[in-house]
Each structure stands twice: as C-alpha cells, then as structure tokens.
Structure 1
Amino acid sequence: MWIILGFIAIAATLLNIYLFSAGKDYKLAMAAGLSFTALTLCAEISFIAGQAAREDWSAVREVVHFQRALWALTGASIFINVLPVFIERRDKKKKINAAS
C-alpha cells in the first residue's frame, strides 16, 4: 500500500510543480502531495508495526535500514511542495518594490 501512496505523492508533487510553472492554481496539488506523503509514512509505520506484532524481527531490521531515506524523502517532499509558495511570495515582494 505504501508503494501506491508513494507514487500518488510523487505524481501530486509533479502536478504541483507543473501547475505552478504554468501559472495556474497549484495549492490543491500541493495539499495532495503533502497529504499523500503523510499517508505513505503512515502506511510504512503500519507495515513495520504489523511485522513487529508477528515478531518477524528480520523483516523489521530490513525496513529500519531505510529510516534515513524516509526522513530525507519526506523532507524533500515538503521542500518541493512548499517551494512554490516561497517563490510566489518573493515575486510579489519584487513587484511591490518595483512599483514603489
């Protein structure tokens, strides 16, 4: 399940970038990208919890090695999804300063 949610999160993030670069409203895609990233992490945690409940410690050990990647990819997802907000803000400030 986490793989499916992860691909949806990537697709929503790419849609966010596309909509922003096309000058269209991107905020729904941004919210979807962040939401599916969170759902992906929840699904991964549920998977690990299920393995631990079955006392399949070798499976838990295999997954735990990816914790740094999960942190890095989550951080990247947040950064990429929120970046258009900061770019838009910067551009608005430039327009205000240019008009003054």
Structure 2
Amino acid sequence: MWLIFGIGAIVFALLNVTTAIKNKNAERYRFLSLSLTALTVCAFYFDGASRVIKEDWSGLMDIMPTMSKALWVLVILSIAVNSVSIFKKKRLNEN
C-alpha cells in the first residue's frame, strides 16, 4: 500500500512543478503530494508494525534498513520539490 501512496506523491509533485512553471495555481497538487507523502510514511510504519506483530523478523531485516533510508531521501525530496511552487509564487508576487 505504501508503494501506491509513494507513486501518487511523486506524480502529484511533478504536476505541482509543471503547473507552477506555467504560472498557474498549484496548491491542490502540492496539498495532494504532501498528503500522499505523509500517508506513505504512515503506511510504511504500519507495514513494519504488522511484521513485528507477526514476528516476521527476516522480513523486517530484509526491508527496513534499505527502505527506511530511501523513505528519508524521498520525503526530503518531496518537500523540496513541492516548495518550488511556493517560492515561484513568492517571486512572481514581488515583481
């Protein structure tokens, strides 16, 4: 489930940037992208917690070390990409 949320977050982040470049309103895409990013983190945590409950230690050892680092990178990237439309809008208002 977290993979679906993550892909959705990336798609809406790209829509956010392309809409901001065209000087259109990108707040909806930014909201959807950041919301899906948060849901991705929650779903990933839920996946790990359910593996602990089932005592699937080999599954945890396979997935958690690599995916937790990737999740950190992708969340930071999502925040950075989604901030493009905010700074672009701010720059347009100053001119």
Q: TM-score, normalised by structure 2?
A: 0.91
Q: Which has the higher contact order (CA 8 A, sep 6+)?
A: 2
AA partner of residue 73 (structure 2):
A
Other-structure match for 1:82: 83
Paired letter, 2:88: I
Q: CA deviation at 1:64?
A: 1.7
Name the CA shift for 1:23/1:91 in 2 (closer, same or farther; >3 Å): closer
Q: CA deviation at 1:92?
A: 2.7
Unaligned runs of 5+ in 1: 96-100
Separation in 2, partners of 1:80, 1:33: 10
Q: Quick one: percent identity of the two aligned structures?
A: 34
Across the two proteins, how many residue pairs are aligned to each other?
A: 94
Moved over 6 A (4+): none
8 Å CA contact retained: 2:20, 2:88: no
Deviations 1:44-69 (A, max 9, x none): 11101000100011111122212111
Cα distance in 1, alignment partners of residues 44 and 58 from structure 2: 16
Read off the aligned partner of 1:22 and give its amino acid letter: K
Deviation at 1:87, TM superposition (A): 2.4
What letter corresponds to residue 17 of structure 1 in structure 2?
V
Structure 2 partner of 1:20: 20
CA distance in 1, matches of 2:83, 2:50: 32
The RMSD of aligned alpha carbons is: 1.1
Q: 1:43 and 2:43 equivalent?
A: yes
Residues 33-90 of structure 1: per-residue CA shift (max 9 Å, x gap): 0000110111111101000100011111122212111111100001101122122213
Which has the higher Rg, Structure 1 or Structure 2? 1
1:25 partner SS: coil
Q: Aligned partners of 2:79 and 2:72: how far apart in 1?
A: 11
Structure 2 runs not aligned, ≥5 long: none
User: Per the alignment, in what secondary structure is the counterpart of residue 29 of structure 1?
Assistant: helix
CA contact (8 A) 2:20 2:26 kept: yes
Q: SS state of the match for residue 40, structure 1?
A: helix
